[in-house]
Each structure stands twice: as C-alpha cells, then as structure tokens.
Homo-oligomer: A and B are copies of this chain.
Amino acid sequence: MPLPKIHDRRERRIARRRADILEAAMKVFAEKGIRQATTKEIAEAADIAEGTIYNYFANKEELVAEMLMYIGDVESRILDYVEGLKVDLRTFFHDYMLKRYRALEGNHRLIAVVFSEVLNTPELRDIYMQRTFMPGTKIMEDHLRTRIERGELPPMDVPTITRLLIGTILGLHLLIATGDEVTTELWADPQKFTDVLTDFLFNGLTPRSDAAE
C-alpha cells in the first residue's frame, strides 16, 4: 500500500512544517507580544518567506488560536485523573504543581502574552475555555467528588472550591507574569513552592499544628 504511505509522509511533512512555524511564532510572540509581532518577523524566525505562513495557517489569528490549543493540550495533559486517585490528595496536588511547574518553566512571558490576548479576544477566550479551562475544571471536580465519596474530604461545594483552587494557581502565574519578585523566587524553588502552595490550598492562612512550618 504505497499510496497511504505517501499520503502519510505528506501529512507528516505538513504537520512538521506547521509545528516549525508555530514554534517560531511562539518565540516571536513571547519576545514582542502577539500584536507587536509581525508576520514578517515570524517568517524570519521560521526562516521562510512571509507568504509561506499562509500555506499553513489561514491568517495570523489562526496561528494564535493554534498556539492556544497547543498550550491547552500541554496543560490538559498535566492533570491525570486516573493516576491522581492512586495517591493521597496532598501528594496529588504536590505532583500536579510540580508537573505544571516543569511544563511552564521559562515560558512565563509567553503565558502572559497569551493570556493578554485571551482576555482581549472573545474567540480566543472561547478556545481557552474549551481547551484548557473546562477540561482541567472537569478533572478537578471529578477528582474532588471521588475523594468526597471515599470520605477523604468533607462534603463541599465542589464547583466553587474548584474555582478557588484553579483561581489561586492562575493568580500566581499572573503575579509571576507581572514580574513580582517574591512569587518568582518562590516559583524558582519548585520543592518549596509546591510545599507552600499545597499547604495553603489545604489549610489556608491558619495552618494546623501538624502543617506548621
């Protein structure tokens, strides 16, 4: 079956090229910001002609959308429902933070820039909600419900608590994105960061005796 093979090869080549261009674009976006990045700059970064971008992406907006979906997929894969239930909740949180940390390491500027665009463009906001926020939220909610059923957590308003958890993590990302030094330093020490954050999420401002530092 030679035809399918050729077809595959062609598709693979296209996918590879798209990925190359996307990667170059992400680099430029992170450096300059999304709207400040010109297609010319992206083309130069990808070492192709400006017009070639349009053989792989309908327009600049699709490039941004694709980037958002890519980031969403990366983020989605961090939360693992099945594996997460095998360990206790603290460990699950801790592991999640750590994986998240590793996935996003060094990409804070890109995250800031992307979030800037998401806040500004309804279409991108929808993509973010569907590809990143909602999947993550669902896993977290299911996880909490299972824990409650198991009796490991007291009954609670699961959707709301989920927002508080996700909101906190999101907020810390933004503090780093805005350049807060304390948060940045905290983040720089993954062990300490995950410890402190897990503790906060579990016990809040007033740690119990067994969790006090």
Contact = CB atoms under 8 A, between A and B. Distances in A.
A29 to B, nearest CB: 11
Contacts of A167: 168, 171-172, 174-175, 183
A156 B156 CA distance: 27
Number of copies: 4
A161 B199 CA distance: 11
A25 interface: no
A71 interface: no
A202 to B, nearest CB: 5
Contact of A163 (B160, B170, B180, B204): B180
A160 B180 contact: no
Given A116-B117, A119-B178, 14 more contacts: A34-B120, A115-B116, A115-B119, A119-B177, A133-B180, A153-B205, A155-B213, A160-B182, A160-B186, A164-B168, A164-B197, A170-B174, A171-B174, A208-B208
13 contacts: A113-B119, A125-B178, A153-B205, A156-B205, A159-B182, A164-B172, A164-B200, A166-B171, A167-B183, A168-B168, A170-B170, A170-B175, A201-B205
Interface of A: 33-35, 89, 112-113, 115-121, 125-126, 128-129, 133, 153-157, 159-172, 174-175, 177-180, 182-183, 186, 196-197, 199-208, 212-213
